[in-house]
Each structure stands twice: as structure tokens, then as C-alpha cells.
Structure 1
Amino acid sequence: MTKKNILTAAVSLSLVACLSIGATLAYFTDKSDTMTNVFTTGKVDMTLIDETEDPKGQYTFDENGVQNGILYTGVVPGDDLDKRVSVLTRDGSSNAHVGIVVTVGNTTDPSEQEVYKLIDEAVARQEKVDGDKWLDVQDVNVYDGENIVPGKLYAYNPEYPGWEQGVPANTLMRLFSDIKIPTAWDNDEAEAVFDIKVQAYALQAENTAPSLLKSAIEGTLKDDNGDRVEFQQYGD
């Protein structure tokens, strides 16, 4: 082997030796502590209260024994009937836009307009007592998943002091406490039957405007997927 070949072989062996040593070295490393990010969703939770202590009123119940209304019998002109309708946002509920929809049915005499007038007057009396302010009545077409039912929406005022971000939990909001039967009713209203139905609705206040409550009730509010936002009962 010539000197030149010996020198080349020595260099090659040297390179292999260096590579072998380099392959056994670790990288400089470090890692942080693990941080677990937990996301807990809120809820909107409220209940409708419909009660009476009037001797002419009797609670009615569905086939499961759940109260579903009050039946008033023997009503005469001049009666001031005890009927307390309110909505309560429950403990732990997120702030919400809250409203009560009133629908009137099964009536000819008195007319629907006359019955709605009784309700408006009852709401005005309650506002005067509580100092609360319900928004102006809004005509609403309630979408129940199948049908459209006309009614009136009484939405709680988002401008009430401290409630700019919606109604907080543990808040009781009274709609009315009595229904006064006009003394002007006469034989035209004899043996009359009419229904006043009330249903409460709540929509999360965060990321929504108060006006969207009506849109959701009417079934025109859509989510990001283009699906209709429908009300579902939370809890019992």
C-alpha cells in the first residue's frame, strides 16, 4: 500500500469513528408541566309559575299528574280573580333574555281583543306594584314545531338597572297577579268560555341580542349550520 493510500484509509476510519461517537450523543431537551384545559358549558334554567288561591279557581292536571293550568268557574262581572303568573330564573342559570307568551283561544264573546285588554291591564297593575318594567307587548307568531300560533310576547326589559347583560339567576319576574272581569260585561258574555295560555321562554343572553328572543320563538333564528334554533325544556 502506498503512503497515499494509507493516508486515505486513515482519514476514512477517523470519519467513521467520529460519526459513531456523534450518534450516541443526546439532544438538549426540556418540557413544561402539563396544563389541562377544562371547558364547562353553562345552562339556561327557568320555571313558569301559575298559581291561585281564588275559591273560583281549581288546578287542572295532565295524565301524568302534572299541573297544566287553572279552571275558573262561576265567574261574574266585577270579579277580581286571583291569578299569579311569574317566571323564575333558577340557581346556576346563565344570564338570559326572558319573556312570557300569552295566547288567547276558545272565545267569541268576549272577543280575543277584549281578553288581551284584560291581560294588558293586569300587567300594568303589576308594574305599578313592583316598579318593574315589561317591554311593550309584541305580536308574535309562536312556532311549536308544527304549527304557528298567534300570541303576544311580554319580554323582560334588558335596560332594567344591572340587567344590561340579561336576567341573572334567582330572579323572580311577575307578569300579573289578578284578572279583573269588567262590570260592563252583560248577558252577551253569559256562559262564555275563554282560555288564557301562558308559556315562558328564555334564550342565553351572552352572544345574543334581546331581539333574537322573538326570532327564536317564531322559529326564524338559525344556528351556524343553518338549522332552526328550537326551544327545549331544561331539567324538569
Structure 2
Amino acid sequence: MKRKSMMLMVSALALVLAIGGATLAWFTNAADPVTNTFATGDVAITLHDEFNKEEAKNVIPGDEYNKDVYVTSEGSINTYVRVKLTPAWDKEGLDTNVVKLTLDTTKWIKIGDWYYYKEALTKGGQTTKLLDYVTFNGAAMDNSYQEGEFTIQVEAEAIQATNNAAEAEWKVNTTNWTAISK
């Protein structure tokens, strides 16, 4: 009887060890590592400023010149863009208002010194032309403009179109395109 009891105990111990070992192996196999990868997007634009420099060498009052300024998005995330146009004469006292800039005021809005494109661009997207023509007003230009050089400096910036980035950084409300007071 003792031998039978001993065999029963050894069998029970073997069964407990087998169940415990199988459970341990099952839990060990469940510990495989998992890697979650998050990749950030990018904001990238190309500023296009197209005009014929040779054609604009001997400007006279009344002349009109084609000058196309627009932006394309090259980045992977939706992007808002803004463009700043800074006209200037190389001589003191000359008025930049004698030069008319033909601008798209339907899709673009001026807030402060910047023109904001009112739609977010997707990758490969393109704005309309902000600037299309430059016209020199013949009636307003006198001899003081002779040998003067007129330039338009063009700058462009872009920002992600999500998470209120334009509101935070540019201080503009993109819902109604108004300035946000500081």
C-alpha cells in the first residue's frame, strides 16, 4: 500500500510539473517583442517666380510684363502657404505705387505683409498665381524714374495645415482668414 501511495504521489507530482512547465512555456512564448514605428511627415514647397529678365531690361512707362508667382507643395502632409512681395526702387524717393501688381485676390488674402493662400495644398498641389502681371503706370512716372531699377523680392513660407499650426505660429485664423490679435 505504501508503494501504491508513493507511486500515486510521484505521478501527481509529475503531472503538476508537466502542467506547470507547459504553462511556463506558453507564457514565455507570449513575450515576443513588438515594434511600433511612427514616421513623421514633412513640409516642403517650391516657390516659382517666372518672368523674362531680358524683356524687362528697358522698361518704359506704360509697359506691362508677365511675372508669374505661385507655389507648389512637395511635402508629404497638407500645407498652408504664404508669400511676401517686397517691391522697391534702387533710388531714394521713388514711389513703388507707380507699379501696378496684378494679383489674385480671390484665392489669396493679404494679412499684414503676407499673402495667404486660402486652401491647404496636398503633395503635388499648386496654388493659383498670386502675381500675374507687373504694369508701369505711364501717367505717374516722370523723369526721376529714368535709369531706376525696380525689384520685387519674393519670399514664401509653409506650415502644416493641421493642429492649429498656422494659428499658433502665423497668428492667423484659417477658418475666416483674419489676423489673431496677440
TM-score, normalising length: structure 2 = 0.69
- The partner residue of 2:117 within 138, 156, 169 is 156
> Which residue of 2 is the match for residue 138 of structure 1?
111
Instruction: Give 1:49-128 correspondences, 5 Å limit.
Output: 49-53=48-52, 55-57=54-56, 73-90=57-74, 92-105=75-88, 106-112=90-96, 114=97, 118-119=100-101, 122-123=102-103, 126-127=104-105
* In structure 2, distance between residues paired with 1:193 and 1:179: 14
- The partner residue of 1:167 within 107, 118, 121 is 121
> Which residue of 2 is the match for residue 181 of structure 1?
136
Deviations 1:69-127 (A, max 9, x none): xxxx221100101211111112x531111011122344534324x16x723xx11xx45
> Which residue of 1 is the match for residue 41 of structure 2?
42
> Which residue of 1 is the match for residue 21 of structure 2?
26
Q: Contact 1:54–1:82 (CA<8 Å) still a contact in 2? A: no
Q: Contact 1:52–1:82 (CA<8 Å) still a contact in 2? A: yes
* In structure 2, distance between residues paired with 1:81 and 1:213: 35
Q: Contact 1:84–1:178 (CA<8 Å) still a contact in 2? A: yes
TM-score, normalising length: structure 1 = 0.55
Pair 202,196 (structure 1): closer, same or farther in 2 beyond 3 Å:
same
* In structure 1, distance between residues paired with 2:167 and 2:91: 30
Deviations 1:123-169 (A, max 9, x none): 1xx45xxxx4211x222xxxxxxxxxxxx2111114xxxxxxx2222
Are residue 199 (structure 1) and residue 155 (structure 2) matched?
Answer: yes
* In structure 1, distance between residues paired with 2:134 and 2:73: 24
* In structure 2, distance between residues paired with 1:213 and 1:85: 24
Deviations 1:160-184 (A, max 9, x none): xxxxxx2222222211121000012
Q: Contact 2:159–2:165 (CA<8 Å) still a contact in 1? A: no
* In structure 2, distance between residues paired with 1:110 and 1:171: 38
The AA in structure 1 aligned to 2:77 is: S
Shift of 1:36: 3.5
* In structure 1, distance between residues paired with 2:167 and 2:92: 32
SS at match of 1:197: strand
Q: Contact 1:83–1:178 (CA<8 Å) still a contact in 2? A: yes
The AA in structure 2 aligned to 1:169 is: K
* In structure 2, distance between residues paired with 1:169 and 1:157: 16
The total of aligned residue pairs comes to 156
Q: Which runs of 5+ in 2 are unaligned?
A: 1-9, 172-182
Q: Which runs of 5+ in 1 are unaligned?
A: 1-16, 58-72, 140-151, 159-165, 216-236
